[in-house]
């Protein structure tokens, strides 16, 4: 069945460092791809999405490109801030939404 694999954490970075969180997927159809974020003490919220191959989703300085040839949707940000500390979940949606295990990011001042 459809599934998502994302890099294990935790990830600890200094402020202004470059961030990459890898995500690959397996799907039989043509899913939409998402990154959700869960800030401490809050619920899951959508960070960005891409609905077809070569689409780039972006929000709050984060970007991810839907790469069908490599079945990937890696999350990147050029300069992280302390406020980006959260758990990030990669997800795909075909008939239903399936999530990866999550990657905890801690950004230190």
Q: Which is nearer to other proteins, 53 or 101 (CB)?
A: 101
Q: Which is nearer to other proteins, 28 or 95 (CB)?
A: 95
User: Which positions touch other proteins (CB under 8 A)?
Assistant: 4, 32, 34, 42-46, 49, 51, 89, 91, 93, 95-102
SS3 (DSSP) at 84: helix
Phi, psi of 35 (to 5 degrees): -120, 125
Residue 18 CA to residue 42 CA, distance in Å, equals 25
Number of H helices, E strands in the chain: 0, 12
Q: Which is nearer to other proteins, 17 or 106 (CB)?
A: 106
Q: Provide, rounded to whole angstroms, the least separation between the CB of residue 10 and other proteins.
A: 10
98 in Cβ contact with 4 (< 8 Å) = yes
Q: Provide, rounded to whole angstroms, the least separation between the CB of residue 78 and other proteins.
A: 25
Cis peptide before 72 (omega within 30 of 0): no
Q: Provide, rounded to whole angstroms, the least separation between the CB of residue 4 and other proteins.
A: 8
Give residue 5's Cα distance to chain centre. 11
Q: Which is nearer to other proteins, 67 or 104 (CB)?
A: 104
Q: Provide, rounded to whole angstroms, the least separation between the CB of residue 93 and other proteins.
A: 6
């Amino acid at each position: 069945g459809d599934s998502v694999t994302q890099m294990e954490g935790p990830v600890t970075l200094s402020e202004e460092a470059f961030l990459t969180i890898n995500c690959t997927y397996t799907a039989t159809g043509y899913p939409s791809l998402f990154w959700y974020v869960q800030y401490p003490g809050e619920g899951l919220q959508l960070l960005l999405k891409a609905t077809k191959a070569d689409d780039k989703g972006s929000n709050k300085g984060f970007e991810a490109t839907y790469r069908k040839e490599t079945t990937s949707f890696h999350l990147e940000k050029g300069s992280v801030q302390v406020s980006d500390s959260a758990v990030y979940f990669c997800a795909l949606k075909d008939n239903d939404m399936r999530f990866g295990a999550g990657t905890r990011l801690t950004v230190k001042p």
